[in-house]
Chain A
Amino acid sequence: MKALWIQFLGSFADSARDFAPIVLVIAFFQVMVLGEAIPHLVEVLWGGFLVVFGLTLFVQGLKLGVFPIGETMAWDFARKGSLPWLLAFAFALGFSTTVAEPALIAVAEEAAKVASAGGSIGDTAGAREDYAEGLRYTVALSVGFAIVVGVLRILRGWPVQYLIIGGYLGVVVMTAFAPKEIVGIAYDSGGVTTSTITVPLVTALGVGLASSIEGRNPLIDGFGLIAFASLTPMIFVMGYGILR
């Protein structure tokens, strides 16, 4: 019990150190540059405590739950040897973790505003809602697709550069044809789709798969899933902009 406490205090200190830079930056700009006191100091301190405590629990939980489950499932799929089921799992994981992602919902709503200001859809709440929903499903589809292709890449041992170069070419070509006002949103949608739980899980899946297959190196073949999953949304969103 005592050892547990010491370990917990240790990781709490780690998290506090991870959070310290932001606190310093905000405090510096607030006090030195803007020349104001920090408002609601008690509230801010309580919030800071919650952040550090939450980060501590999260990192513990990753090691105990998320990493092991991602890797054992990868091993089990490899042992089962059924490619269709593995790909179905990959797609479901990519699609379902993206479609409900709050950051994506926010970006889709912004995008709908841009589209209706630019005149490509009607200026009604209904039209905007339709557009935002369509966009959300498009991005979720593209992430599902990316994880499927990424898993195939691990199985076959293709170098990650080929996928990425192909994806870049796709982005460049689509940029030439896409309506100007969607380009910024499309580029941003790549970064926002991968959430805090998806990333560790998908990473563990990739590393698990690469280590369960003979001849694959977990470092070279296991990583790269996230990279492709942040590239395809750009292409798909610009495609959505062209078709709408």
Chain B
Amino acid sequence: MTEHLASLWQSLAATLDDVMPILGILVGFQVLVLRRPIANLRQVAYGFLLVLLGLAFFLEGLERALFPLGRLMAEQLTDPAFLGLERADTATLSDWRSHGWVYLFAFATGFATTIAEPSLIAVAIKANQVSGGTIGIWGLRLAVAVGVAIGITLGSMRIITGTPLHYYIIGGYVLVLIQTGFAPRAIIPLAYDSGGVTTSTVTVPLVAALGLGLSSHIPGRSPLIDGFGLIAFASLFPMMTVMAYAQLSEWHAGRRQRR
């Protein structure tokens, strides 16, 4: 029991470290520059307290329940022993077709962690408010989650095949720019934002473990050089899926109107 409390306390302290500079800036500018009393000060302070406690519990729970299991799993699924192979069997190990379970795991983890990502929930709530309800909270979150899932799956394939990262990323940029020309104008800033938002507290540790596991087990890959890049994939593809989501719903609405 005391051990649980101690580690909960540690998470709280770590969250405090994270929140303090932000609070300092907010209070500093409010008091020294804006010099206006904050409306509903008590409610706002209570809100910040909830955010602080909530994040601490959230992180503590992830560290207890999810991350150890997820990391172990990423490690086991990428281990040659799981495929019943010898380490020396480099030809089969570097063949991207041998790793079906890894792709399924990458896809499923990418999707599921994104659904639980708190900052994405925040942006979806705001977008829903601002758009007067036309952008659905769930529509946006699902679109982003599918994007992250595709991104991480492709990213794992890239680690296995060893193709240079920048080919994919630059190619992805070109696609994003082309799609920007066709997507409804109102979704574009939100789509771009969803790229950066998605990779946060829940996704990064699990995805990093997957990249590390893959790059240390595939022959010829180095965890230091090839282990990176999954996050970049995960922030690229949501832009495309969110724009696609808007294009689809526009097309759907257009069809319904014509009828």
Asked if A pairs with B, the answer is yes
Docked complex Cα distance between A48 and B65 (Å): 6
Which residues of B are found within 8 Å of A28, using beta-carbon distances? 108
Docked complex Cα distance between A55 and B59 (Å): 10
User: Which residues 19-57 of A have a CB within 8 angstroms of B?
Assistant: 19, 21-22, 24-26, 28-30, 33-34, 38-39, 43-57
B139 at the interface (CB under 8 A from A): no
Docked complex Cα distance between A203 and B121 (Å): 12
Neighbour of B112 across the interface among A22, A181, A220, A223, CB < 8 A:
A22
Stretch in B89-97, B190-198, B249-257 touching the partner: B190-198
A172 at the interface (CB under 8 A from B): yes
Which residues of B are found within 8 Å of A117, using beta-carbon distances? 224
User: Are the CB atoms of B19 and A51 closer together than 8 Å?
Assistant: no
Which residues of A are found within 8 Å of B62, using beta-carbon distances? 47, 51
Docked complex Cα distance between A51 and B60 (Å): 7
User: Are the CB atoms of A191 and B36 closer together than 8 Å?
Assistant: no
Docked complex Cα distance between A218 and B56 (Å): 31
Chain B interface size, under 10 / 10 to 19 / 20 to 34 / 35 or more: 35 or more
User: Are the CB atoms of B166 and A183 closer together than 8 Å?
Assistant: yes
Q: Name the distance in Å between B90's Cβ and chain A's nearest Cβ.
A: 22
User: Are the CB atoms of A184 and B228 closer together than 8 Å?
Assistant: yes
Neighbour of A51 across the interface among B36, B61, B70, B200, CB < 8 A:
B61
User: Are the CB atoms of B44 and A65 closer together than 8 Å?
Assistant: yes
User: Which residues 40-59 of B have a CB within 8 angstroms of A?
Assistant: 40, 43-59
User: Are the CB atoms of A38 and B69 closer together than 8 Å?
Assistant: yes
A102 at the interface (CB under 8 A from B): yes
Given A184-B165, A226-B193; A63-B231 close (CB under 8 Å): no
User: Are the CB atoms of B43 and A62 closer together than 8 Å?
Assistant: no
Which residues of B are found within 8 Å of A62, using beta-carbon distances? 47, 51, 122, 125
Which residues of A are found within 8 Å of B126, using beta-carbon distances? 67, 200, 203-204, 207
Q: Name the distance in Å between A31's Cβ and chain B's nearest Cβ.
A: 11
Which residues of A are found within 8 Å of B65, using beta-carbon distances? 43-48, 50-51
A152 at the interface (CB under 8 A from B): no
Which residues of B are found within 8 Å of A226, using beta-carbon distances? 123, 193, 196-197
The interface bits of chain B over 194-221 (1 if a CB of A lies within 8 angstroms of the residue's CB, else 0) are 0111111110100000000000000000
The interface bits of chain A over 170-183 (1 if a CB of B lies within 8 angstroms of the residue's CB, else 0) are 01100100001101
Docked complex Cα distance between A86 and B34 (Å): 10
User: Are the CB atoms of A65 and B47 closer together than 8 Å?
Assistant: yes
User: Are the CB atoms of B225 and A114 closer together than 8 Å?
Assistant: yes
Q: Name the distance in Å between A179's Cβ and chain B's nearest Cβ.
A: 11
User: Are the CB atoms of A18 and B121 closer together than 8 Å?
Assistant: yes
B234 at the interface (CB under 8 A from A): yes
Q: Name the distance in Å between A53's Cβ and chain B's nearest Cβ.
A: 5
Which residues of A are found within 8 Å of B112, using beta-carbon distances? 21-22, 24-25
Q: Name the distance in Å between A212's Cβ and chain B's nearest Cβ.
A: 13
Docked complex Cα distance between A63 and B250 (Å): 29
Which residues of B are found within 8 Å of A194, using beta-carbon distances? 119, 196-197, 200
Q: Name the distance in Å between B144's Cβ and chain A's nearest Cβ.
A: 12
Q: Name the distance in Å between B172's Cβ and chain A's nearest Cβ.
A: 10
Which residues of A are found within 8 Å of B111, using beta-carbon distances? 21, 25
A240 at the interface (CB under 8 A from B): no
Which residues of A are found within 8 Å of B115, using beta-carbon distances? 18, 21-22
A sample of 17 more A-B contacts (CB under 8 A), given A85-B29, A188-B229, A191-B199, is: A18-B115, A34-B73, A34-B76, A44-B69, A48-B61, A52-B61, A53-B57, A57-B53, A68-B47, A73-B34, A92-B25, A171-B173, A175-B166, A191-B232, A192-B199, A200-B123, A220-B188
Q: List 22 A-B contacts (CB under 8 A).
A: A25-B112, A29-B73, A30-B73, A46-B4, A48-B65, A60-B47, A62-B51, A62-B125, A63-B47, A64-B46, A65-B50, A69-B44, A73-B30, A73-B34, A101-B18, A175-B166, A181-B224, A191-B198, A194-B196, A219-B130, A226-B196, A227-B192
